[in-house]
Amino acid sequence: MNGARILAVCGIAGGVAVSALTDTKPVREPITVEGYQVLSGDFHVHAFVGDGGIAPWSMQDQAAHLGLDVIAITNHNQTLAGRLGRSSAESSTGPIVLVGEEITGRNFHLIGVGIERAVNWDQPARGAIADVHAQGGLAIAAHPMHGFDGYDPEGLAELDGVEVAHRDTLAPEASKQFDEFYQRAVARNPEIAAIGSSDFHTSGPMGFCRTYLFVRERSKAGVMDAIRDGRTVGRCEGGRLRGRPELVRLLEPHSEALAPPDETLIQTLALLLVWVSLVALAIVGPRS
């Protein structure tokens, strides 16, 4: 087992070194529309301390590499990964890292953004939404296709956002279900935020689907206010902009500038090496 441990540790070190040496972060000109700065965010990503493929302290760097301005780390039914990711990012001027959770209920999945404590998953969606709001957080319906759409009319009205762009929307039938749910939510709350999320675990990449936010300031407060006020548009790479028509029209002239940068093969392989090595180290144990 000692040889396996050494290989795993070398794999982690090698992957981190390759990632650091080959990392290039895109430089984007600020986009301003109607007095708002447009930021790019992904509010549904998973980290390694749980069900993701990248360690939480590496998430901010990966987000910067992919041209994201803000992410929320949202592991299933826990906030530890998000708190670790935020802590490692606090001294940096890179992308904003928010603490979140994917609350995995019996007939719904709910993203809580801007919370500290895990929310009880074993309750109706409306109760989970109320618990998120009690912490000052935002409640976003996650991939609300059939089986994950267990929101009563009151719960729909209390949502802050709905995922309208997600990797599952690439399938026509699922895309139809997303659209139908969004229209149900809009009927209860016309200014509900349209959210694009990658639901990144180990592949995707992060930011493949993303949210464009019209913010008054580049800060956590600015991001949270934009979602609360519904100043958002969602899109998957190469897909259409989804959200309130007046906001979509404002972004359409900037569609090319907002396109995410390509993830390099070397960076992808380096991250994969780190992830496989971490899994191997967890299996064999850190020491004899």
Pick 128 or 22 by higher pLDDT: 128
| pLDDT per residue as tens digits for the range 249-287 | 999 999 888 887 765 544 555 555 555 555 554 566 555
Q: Answer yes or no: do 170 and 232 share one domain.
A: yes
Q: Answer yes or no: do 43 and 186 share one domain.
A: yes
Angstrom distance (rounded) from CA 279 to CA 276: 5
Angstrom distance (rounded) from CA 227 to CA 229: 5
The residues, ordered by sequence, that sit 6+ positions from 138 with a Cβ below 8 Å of its Cβ are: 112, 113, 114, 132, 160, 161, 224, 227, 228
Q: Answer yes or no: do 4 and 109 share one domain.
A: no
Task: Answer whether 173's CB lies under 8 Å from 161's CB.
Answer: no
Mean pLDDT for 16-22 is 50
| pLDDT per residue as tens digits for the range 195-254 | 999 999 987 789 999 999 999 999 999 999 999 999 999 999 878 999 999 999 999 999
Q: Answer yes or no: do 118 and 102 share one domain.
A: yes
Q: Where are the alpha helices (DSSP H) in 105-214?
A: 125-134, 153-158, 172-188
Q: What is the dihedral of CA 177, 178, 179, 182, to 10 degrees?
A: 120
Name the burial class of residue 44, with classes exposed (0-12), middle (13-18) and buried (19+) by CB atoms within 10 angstroms of its CB. buried
For the chain, give the percent of residues with pLDDT over 70: 81
Pick 13 or 232 by higher pLDDT: 232
Pick 121 or 273 by higher pLDDT: 121
Q: Answer yes or no: do 151 and 252 share one domain.
A: yes
Q: Answer yes or no: do 222 and 271 share one domain.
A: no
- The residue type at 163: E
* Exposure on the CB side of residue 232, measured as CA atoms within 13 A: 32
* 36-45 and 70-73 strand pairing: parallel
What is the structure's pLDDT at 242?
Answer: 96
Q: Answer yes or no: do 90 and 142 share one domain.
A: yes
What is the structure's pLDDT at 163?
Answer: 98
Neighbouring CB atoms inside 10 A of 38's CB total 23
Q: Answer yes or no: do 18 and 36 share one domain.
A: no
Mean pLDDT for 109-114 is 98
What is the number of structural domains in the chain? 2
Q: Answer yes or no: do 15 and 134 share one domain.
A: no
Pick 228 or 29 by higher pLDDT: 228
What is the structure's pLDDT at 83?
Answer: 97
What is the structure's pLDDT at 21?
Answer: 46
What is the structure's pLDDT at 273?
Answer: 55
Angstrom distance (rounded) from CA 227 to CA 258: 18
What is the structure's pLDDT at 262?
Answer: 64
What is the structure's pLDDT at 275?
Answer: 53
Q: Answer yes or no: do 16 and 89 share one domain.
A: no
| pLDDT per residue as tens digits for the range 64-87 | 999 999 999 999 999 999 999 999
Q: At what angle do helices 265-284 and 2-22 cross, to 10 degrees?
A: 160
| Residue-level length of the chain | 288
Helix (H) or strand (E) holding 19: helix 2-22
Q: The domain spanning residue 147 has which CATH number?
A: 3.20.20.140
Q: Answer yes or no: do 3 and 60 share one domain.
A: no
Q: Answer yes or no: do 5 and 66 share one domain.
A: no
| pLDDT per residue as tens digits for the range 173-203 | 999 999 999 999 999 999 999 999 999 998 7
Average per-residue pLDDT for the chain: 87
Domain that holds residue 79: 31-262
Mean pLDDT for 49-74 is 92
